[in-house]
A and B are shown apart, each in its own frame.
Chain A
């Protein structure tokens, strides 16, 4: 089945630095990628939706200059957390739509970001 490979699975970075998270679709073309953020014991919160070749659409309250999303190809989408702060520490998950009818999605295994 459709697989999305997300890397890294965990990362620790210093405050003020940037971190890039990659999601690759391995055996299908991901025209749409969703990026979620999850706090402990909280639901997955949609951060942004990206479509290949166009600018990402960010949810209200998500800083687009802080969370840079690039979806330059049909198999790769990246999320870069810029000038990271401890409050950015969270679990980030990508998801791709796999079926045109909108009922199929595949998820990356997530990235645990810790900013120290």
Chain B
């Protein structure tokens, strides 16, 4: 079945450092891919999405490109801020999932001043 694998955390970075959180997936057909962010005490919020191969999702300085050839959707940000500290989830919606999302384990990011 469909699955998502993302890098283990926690990830600790200094402010203004470059961020990469790896995400790879296994799915049949053509899934849609998402990154969600969860701040402490809050629900998951959509960060960005891509619905077809080569699409680039972007929001708040974060970017991820849907790479079908490598089945990847890595999250990147050029300069992180303390306020980016949160847990990041990669997710996919498969072609036959009935709209349910399939999540990775989440990666905790801590950005220090």
Interface residues of A (CB under 8 A from B): 4, 6, 32, 34, 36, 41-44, 46, 49, 57, 93, 95, 97, 102-110
* Cα separation A107 to B43 with both chains bound (whole Å): 5
Q: How far is the CB of A108 from chain B (nearest CB, A)?
A: 5
A-B interface, 10 closest residue pairs, ranked by CB to CB distance from nearest: A107-B43, A107-B44, A109-B43, A44-B103, A43-B105, A43-B103, A102-B99, A46-B100, A108-B43, A34-B100
Contact A49 B100 (CB under 8 A): yes
B→A interface (CB under 8 Å)? 4, 32, 36, 41-46, 49, 51, 89, 93, 98-106
Q: A44-B103, A46-B100 known; A109 and B51 CB under 8 Å?
A: no
Establish whether residues A34 and B101, one from each chain, have CB atoms under 8 Å apart when the complex forms.
yes
A83 to B4, CA, bound (A): 32
A94 to chain B, nearest CB (A): 9
Is A97 within 8 A of B99, CB to CB?
A: yes
Count chain B CB atoms within 10 A of each CB in A49, A105, A108 and give the residue with the most.
Answer: A105
Known interface pairs A43-B4, A43-B106, A103-B49. Does A32 touch B99 (Cβ–Cβ under 8 Å)?
yes
C-alpha spacing A104/B98, complex, angstroms? 13
Provide the residues of chain B in CB contact with A32, threshold 8 Å. Answer: 99
Which B residues are CB-close (under 8 A) to A103? 32, 49, 51, 93
Q: Can you give 5 A-B contacts (C-beta < 8 A)?
A: A6-B43, A42-B105, A43-B104, A103-B93, A109-B41
Q: Which of B32, B43, B102 contacts A46 (CB 8 A)?
A: B102
**Complex: A44 Cα to B45 Cα, angstroms:** 14
Knowing that A93-B44, A105-B46 touch, tell me 16 more A-B residue pairs with CB under 8 angstroms. A32-B99, A43-B89, A43-B105, A44-B89, A44-B103, A49-B99, A57-B98, A102-B93, A103-B93, A104-B46, A105-B101, A107-B45, A108-B43, A109-B41, A109-B43, A110-B43
